[in-house]
Chain A
Amino acid sequence: MNQNRDFYAGLVATVFFAIVLFVLIPIYVKVPSFIPGFAPPPDMWPRVVGVIGLVMGILALVLAFPKSRKASGEQVTSLGFYVNRNKVFITRFALLLVLFVAFVYGLPVIGFVPATVLLLGILFLMTGNFGNKFWMIGLTIIFPVLLYLLFTEVTHTPFPEGMLFSGSLSGSLSDLVTLI
């Protein structure tokens, strides 16, 4: 298992640093027409790091490949086999990704407090352990509100109220939380 992991780590690193070197740096690291003095250009350091990363990725692949073959009966376990065997885990991970994406995009729409209440509630559900039901329900509602109060009162952080709650609703929500 470890050997396969090393093989995939090498593969991921090689692909990632190759993308960085040949795609991201040429597009996203602009070299200015004038560089003061003899200072090295801005793409010099990312290129150096990218090359080292790429070489190390290839080295990890080379070092892990023979061991992987040996460890898994002369063939490297295929990605398809892994996916099939770990279907449940991958589904849970995908659901978590969807939750995080929904949270990031939902934050400006429904506001910080409702978004964190929902996030916490769904995370509790996703843990799959309902032994502390009442604590879970209580914490889902109280904990984000307490944090909201702490950070608005102490650091005066302006949390987004949410587009849905803008106007009269936003006023009543912040009034309610402040009142609590």
Chain B
Amino acid sequence: MWNELLFAFQSVATLPNFLAMFAGIWGGVIIGAIPGMTGTMAVTLALPFTFYLPPVTSLLLLVALYKGSTYGGSISAILIKTPGTASAACTVLDGYPLARAGKGGKALNMALISSCIGDFISNISLFFLAMPLAMFALRVGPPEFFMLMAFSLTIVASISGRSLVLGIIAACLGLLLATVGEDIYGSYRFALSEDMKSGLGMVPVLIGLFALPELIKMIVFRPEDNSQAMKLGDNRLTLSEFRGSIKSICRGSVIGVILGAIPGIGPSTAAFFSYSEARRTSKNGDKFGEGELEGIAASESANNGACGATMIPLLALGVPGDVITGVMLGAFMIHGLTPGPLLFQNNLGEVYSLFIGMLFSSLFLFIAGKLTAGAFTKISRIPQTLLLPCILILCVYGIYSIGASPFDVTVLLVMGIVGFAMMLLNIPAAPFLIAFILGPMFEDNMRRSLAISRGDLGVFFQSWISWGFFILTILFVTLTIRREWKKWRDRRASAQSAS
């Protein structure tokens, strides 16, 4: 094994491989930072170029693009409240308030460091745990998925802000909008027009909900300081700030690795799951959503942790977990490599080279992130009256380019107005966001499970994984009800004493 590793190290440590990784990471960061341009787009666009490259170099280029774009999404999420990718949606919640407070650089640094650590842990786990994790992932079927999603949805209670009722209303709105279009059995729901039959795109909805209300607010209310640029402030991340987030980074990375290894889950869910866990366990949990560095650390470590882990089912079983790994499966095939258990027998050299290359890519991500973030931080210096209209135009082009569909642009604008209305009515946007992302997975897995079991609810309690998530869900719901009851009683007591 060690001989093969040494040989793989020698074959990776070449200038063309390093150049490919660096170009991939840098390109990915820039593409991920542009709203509407996704990692899938980056990997697909680069695929034709890989025909002319050696197998390992081309695979490293694609993996680097994927990792770079996942981190890149956090840049626009932090600086302009526009998640470049869906997996960075959670980063908006704490990143933008920090940027508004003149700590954009600090937030970017935390995002970069946690992304690199998450990525590194993910690569290490790929190296040592590919087979056992792939076997665990295979045990997760629709009932386990359903229980996991149910547990993830309980985070709505902790991100609802001052009113749990309004938080649940927002979540219901998100769940409802997620049902628009064709369901798993081919029935159309809420297809008010022909375009709505394919459902509402995740990116236009998310960008519309977060980026546009700021612009509408500025135009409608014209606040005094709207011509001012954000303060640059102190950009350095202190050791104590890093230490305060290290637990969330490690936990986020592990969550990313485990959820990333399960086909169909992906970085977005991992980021939300990690964020909710960090919020539940952190002593600063109350400050999450108002500009807490730990929130950024939790979501960024998980989404980048999931990146490497999505390669686990692909390499070990030949099962692509999401669209990007599906494209990568194509790249493997093009170069005569067939992912699956036989890959580890027939092409062990290439597999080890890929693993070592991925470890290097964590380092390249740090370098490229540092260089790029510095340039992007300058966005903070642009006055809001110039910046916000330009962001809308950028979003319009980015959204249109996803599917060349004017309907997506309409969805973007409508969601901007919905987001503005929610802002005026104090309805929190975060529960809407999580419900919209997790809702389809929750419903599909519930319906699949019931179809498999012929309507028997016992299907949800047949494995220890389901039981584990069920107990956690019940525990959390009970704690939330107790907390709300206590709050209500305290409020009533203080009102009585005042009167």
Contact = CB atoms under 8 A, between A and B. Distances in A.
Contacts of A46: 176, 179, 189-190
Given A20-B176, A158-B404, A123 B169 contact: no
Contacts, number: 183
Q: For the side of the interface on A, what is the size category?
A: 35 or more
B413 A104 contact: yes
24 contacts: A6-B166, A10-B165, A30-B187, A37-B452, A39-B447, A42-B183, A45-B443, A46-B179, A49-B179, A92-B220, A112-B400, A116-B393, A119-B396, A120-B392, A127-B388, A129-B222, A129-B226, A143-B393, A147-B393, A147-B397, A148-B397, A150-B397, A151-B401, A157-B400
A36 interface: yes
Which of B45, B169, B222, B410 lies at the interface centre, i.e. has the most chain A CB atoms within 10 A of its CB? Answer: B169
Given A36-B451, A42-B189, 15 more contacts: A5-B425, A6-B166, A9-B425, A13-B427, A16-B173, A38-B453, A39-B185, A45-B179, A50-B172, A93-B220, A127-B388, A127-B389, A154-B45, A157-B400, A157-B401
Contacts of A139: 386, 390
A171 to B, nearest CB: 20
A103 B389 contact: no
Interface in B426-479: 426-427, 443, 446-448, 450-455
A89 B220 contact: yes
Interface of B: 37, 41, 45, 163, 165-166, 168-169, 172-173, 175-176, 179, 183, 185-192, 215-216, 218-222, 226-227, 383, 385-386, 388-390, 392-394, 396-398, 400-401, 404, 406, 409-410, 413, 417, 421, 424-427, 443, 446-448, 450-455
A22 interface: no
Contacts of B393: 116, 119-120, 143-144, 147
Given A28-B192, A143-B390, A36 B169 contact: no
Contacts of B398: 151
A155 B406 contact: no
B413 A103 contact: yes
Interface in A54-82: 56-57, 59-60, 63
Contacts of A83: none
Nearest to B226: A129
Contact of A29 (B189, B222, B383): B189
B296 to A, nearest CB: 28
Interface in A133-164: 135-136, 139, 143-144, 147-148, 150-151, 154-155, 157-160
A96 interface: yes
A92 B222 CA distance: 10
Nearest to B444: A45
B400 A132 contact: no
Contact of A38 (B227, B388, B454): B454
A167 interface: no
Contacts of A168: none
A89 B221 contact: yes
Q: Chain A: interface secondary structure?
A: helix
A28 B413 contact: no
B404 A157 contact: yes
B451 A52 contact: no
A53 B215 contact: no
Contacts of B227: 129, 131-132
A74 B317 CA distance: 67
A53 B169 CA distance: 5
Contacts of B425: 5, 8-9, 12
Across the A-B interface, the 5 shortest Cβ-Cβ residue pairs: A53-B172, A38-B455, A39-B451, A123-B389, A42-B187
A36 B226 contact: no
Contacts of A96: 216, 219-220
Contact of A116 (B176, B186, B397, B443): B397
Contacts of B163: 6, 60
Which of A39, A57, A160 lies at the interface centre, i.e. has the most chain B CB atoms within 10 A of its CB? Answer: A39
A150 B41 CA distance: 14
B154 to A, nearest CB: 14
Contacts of B165: 10, 56, 59-60, 63
A36 B424 CA distance: 44
A42 B190 CA distance: 11
Contacts of B455: 38
Contacts of B424: 5
Which of B176, B221, B222, B451 lies at the interface centre, i.e. has the most chain A CB atoms within 10 A of its CB? Answer: B176
B426 A123 contact: no
A14 to B, nearest CB: 9
A19 to B, nearest CB: 11
Which of B173, B186, B219 lies at the interface centre, i.e. has the most chain A CB atoms within 10 A of its CB? Answer: B219
Given A120-B390, A143-B393, A127 B169 contact: no
Nearest to A126: B219
Given A63-B165, A96-B216, A119-B393, A132 B176 contact: no
A159 B219 contact: no
Contacts of A108: 406
Which of A9, A96, A151 lies at the interface centre, i.e. has the most chain B CB atoms within 10 A of its CB? Answer: A9
B53 to A, nearest CB: 20
B176 A49 contact: yes
